[in-house]
Amino acid sequence: MKKLMVKGIEKVYGSDDNKVCALRGIDLEIEPGKFTAIVGQSGSGKSTLLHCMAGLDKPSSGSVFVDDLDLYTLNDNRLSKIRREVFGFVFQSFNLIPVINVYDNITLPILLNKGSIDKSYLDELIFKLGIETQMNKFPNELSGGQQQRVAIARALGSKPSIIFADEPTGNLDSDTTNEVMNLLKFCVDKYNQTLVMITHNNEIANSADTIINISDGRII
């Protein structure tokens, strides 16, 4: 398991009268193999924090460590490699490619990384997510819940150590939300991964191993 740690993260947008401090000196250590929920009001900085931790948005100052690697001292190629091989991403918008089928959506990141597909692992993952009959369909032929399951399969397909999820159930009804969360937590437990999730759903947050509350760019 990979260890994720944040030291002194600050993120500032704009300057002078237009300066906005989105993060104000965040120190944080994510427990490996556990589910951590990040909560807070809109504009509190939680999405900025997640994006900085995930190597998607460079902080203005501070460091993000994966084990002993400081992400933002790496060149673009090495950072991209970490994002592809170590991290998995699930977002509120499913971001599936509409012109290829479900199976190709799931396997494309593995192939882009020039990896080999572990068929037995992938078959088990697809079965656990209940989408084994959808492989030849296109995204627009699926319900929202099915599309999110495909997005989860894509995120887990490369066997990432850390999964970042930004409001992954925000577009789903309550029943589908429960199903997707149960499946996501099951997969994380089954494959011994770390889950870091932003959510506005108190029930989901309360089911996490750790809750991090962000307000005005600080942990409270």
Supply the pLDDT for residue 154.
92
Angle at 185 between CA 53 and CA 187, to 5 degrees: 95
Per-residue pLDDT band at 210 (split at 50, 70, 90): very high
In a domain, residue 139? The reply is yes
Mean pLDDT lowest among 20-24, 63-67, 185-189: 185-189
77: Cβ contacts below 8 Å, ≥ 6 apart: none
In a domain, residue 219? The reply is no
Give the pLDDT confidence of 104-114 residue by residue, as tens digits.
999 998 888 77
Mean pLDDT lowest among 57-61, 152-156, 211-215: 152-156
In a domain, residue 15? The reply is yes
Domain that includes residue 180, residue range: 4-213
Residue 101: give its domain's CATH number: 3.40.50.300
Q: What percentage of the chain reaches a pLDDT higher than 70?
A: 100
In a domain, residue 220? The reply is no
CA–CA separation, 55 and 38 (whole Å): 17
Give the pLDDT confidence of 194-207 residue by residue, as tens digits.
999 999 889 999 99
Interstrand relation of 87-91 and 162-166 (parallel, antiparallel or unpaired): parallel
Domain count along the chain: 1
In a domain, residue 64? The reply is yes
Q: Of 130, 145, 144, 131, whose CA–CA distance to 101 is shortest?
A: 131
In a domain, residue 34? The reply is yes
Q: Of 216, 219, 176, 220, whose CA–CA distance to 45 is shortest?
A: 216
In a domain, residue 218? The reply is no
In a domain, residue 122? The reply is yes
Give the pLDDT confidence of 38-72 residue by residue, as tens digits.
999 988 999 999 999 999 999 999 999 999 899 99
